Amino acid sequence: MTLSPTKCKNMVISTLRSLEDLQPLLSNNLPLETVSCHKGFGLILWDTLKWMENTNEIFTKTSKRLHILRVLKRAGVPSTDLICVYNTLVRSVLEYSSAVWATSLPRSLVDQIERIQKHAMRIPFPGHSTANATSLEIRRGTWGFAVLMFF
């Protein structure tokens, strides 16, 4: 198999502080560009395996989609339809590739993701408690197969 050096990148994931001893990867006798971050399939992967940038992108996407929920609520869309829209537009983004990143998130990022879910639930059900909702953390622990229960 031949690789195109203009289309390929090299990312070293290592806990070593110094990577000077590593030889550059070559393709057609040309060195591949070394990168510290790569986005592929909607997932941002850093060579340090930190997930802050990936989580920030999730927050940005879901904030925009929560606005869609608010507009639909003002238009008089029934709560059952709003739940369907939430599951389709917001929850799918919150849980996308969570099998990869969910176990290594710091508590502060987990709490931010939970706040997004609670905020989303207050849109179709204003004034109701969100205590009965299945948390995203629990669903991520079971790889997203639990059913979201609002009441």
pLDDT tens digits, 66-92: 999 999 999 999 988 988 998 888 888
The reported pTM is 0.66
Residue 19 has a pLDDT of: 66
Eight-class DSSP state of 24: P
Residue 78 has a pLDDT of: 92
Residues in the chain where the model's pLDDT stays below 50: 142-151
- How far, CA to CA in Å, does 29 sit from each of 4, 8, 26, 39, 102? 11, 13, 5, 26, 39
Contact between residue 101 and residue 124 where contact means Cβ atoms under 8 Å apart: no
